Structure 1
Amino acid sequence: MSVFVSLTLGAIFLISVTTLLIAFTPLREFIPGYSSSELKKNATVLALKSDSLSKALKKNEIYIKSIQKVLNGELEYAKFNKDSILSSTEETTDPVDLSPSQNEIELRKRVNEEEKLDSQSHKTTSRKKTR
């Protein structure tokens, strides 16, 4: 019986040590499905760079199309202005209504009432303890 208990405890200890070793060391990167924190950081940086590059590319394409219009004679030179072209490429965001809805107002009132009740109950219990 003692051999069985010692083997069981040894197996549990070995499994737990292995799990902790893999979970808290860089060894977890070798397990499929886990990615390193450096890889995640690099992916985020590259996503931001690609987003800014695509915006710059879009602006340059519109600028080049406008220059082509001037060169082809479709647009008068006096109407050609780089700033106006670049400002037309900027994306406008729709305004967002951030005012609280009726449900939110009711929820806030309910939470405030519950907080008042909680604070009052804490005050009465603390007064009873001090007496």
Structure 2
Amino acid sequence: MSKKKLKRKKIAKKLYAKNRLVILNEDTFEEIFSLRLTLMNVFVVASLGAILIIFVTTFIIAFTPLREFIPGYTSGKMKREATELALKSDSIQKAIRENQIYLSAIKKALTGEVEAAKLNKDSIVADSTRINEQSLQPSAAELKIRNATTTKPIKK
């Protein structure tokens, strides 16, 4: 037989050789516990134990509040608060913009650029929210692109 086969047989023989684990009382040498084991049994039990510990640890971290201590995970409460703050800041920015338009209209009225009878906060806010129709008209470059794409046939 070749050396590799002999080596494999030797390793298999060691893995499956039966050994006895004995726990003795040191004073009386009385046998308290005895267990027959092989090296392969010990390896399999240790591997299964390690896999079980990894699974339980992953489960505890993934499905309990402990995940908040891991970088990258955030709590649901924090996400809700961030969304609420974003909405509040947006509404505050809108209110500031409207107040700035109102104050500039008052400034114009005080300097005499606008008639005082036309000054009304609601009309000023309505004017600020109107869309400029000129900004909706396509530019010359856009029209050129549209014409270029519509004249070419579409290849399939």
TM-score range relative to shorter protein: 0.5 to 0.7
TM-score scaled to structure 2, two decimals? Answer: 0.57
How many Å apart are 1:79 and its aligned residue?
Answer: 2.0
Where is the strand percentage greater, Structure 1 or Structure 2? 2
1:5-39 deviation digits (Å, cap 9, x = unpaired) = 00000000000000000000000000001111111
Which of 29, 41, 46 in structure 2 is aligned with 1:2? 41
How many Å apart are 1:55 and its aligned residue?
Answer: 0.6
In the alignment, which residue of structure 1 is the partner of 2:107?
68
TM-score scaled to structure 1, two decimals? Answer: 0.67
Please identify the structure whose Cα radius of gyration is greater. Answer: 2
Instruction: Give ranges in structure 2 of 5+ residues lacking alignment.
Output: 1-39, 132-156
SS at match of 1:70: helix
1:45-124 alignment to 2 at 5 Å? Answer: 45-90=84-129, 92=131
Matched, 1:40 2:79: yes
Q: Which amino acid aligns with 2:98?
A: K
How many Å apart are 1:80 and its aligned residue?
Answer: 1.6
Instruction: Give ranges in structure 1 of 5+ residues lacking alignment.
Output: 93-131
1:54-79 deviation digits (Å, cap 9, x = unpaired) = 11110000000000001111111122
How many Å apart are 1:91 and its aligned residue?
Answer: 5.4
Where is the helix percentage greater, Structure 1 or Structure 2? 1
Aligned CA distance change for structure 1 residues 28 and 79 (closer, same or farther; 3 Å): same
In the alignment, which residue of structure 2 is the partner of 1:20?
59
1:94-128 deviation digits (Å, cap 9, x = unpaired) = xxxxxxxxxxxxxxxxxxxxxxxxxxxxxxxxxxx
Q: Which amino acid aligns with 1:7?
A: A
In the alignment, which residue of structure 2 is the partner of 1:115?
none
Provide the identity percentage.
59
In the alignment, which residue of structure 1 is the partner of 2:68?
29
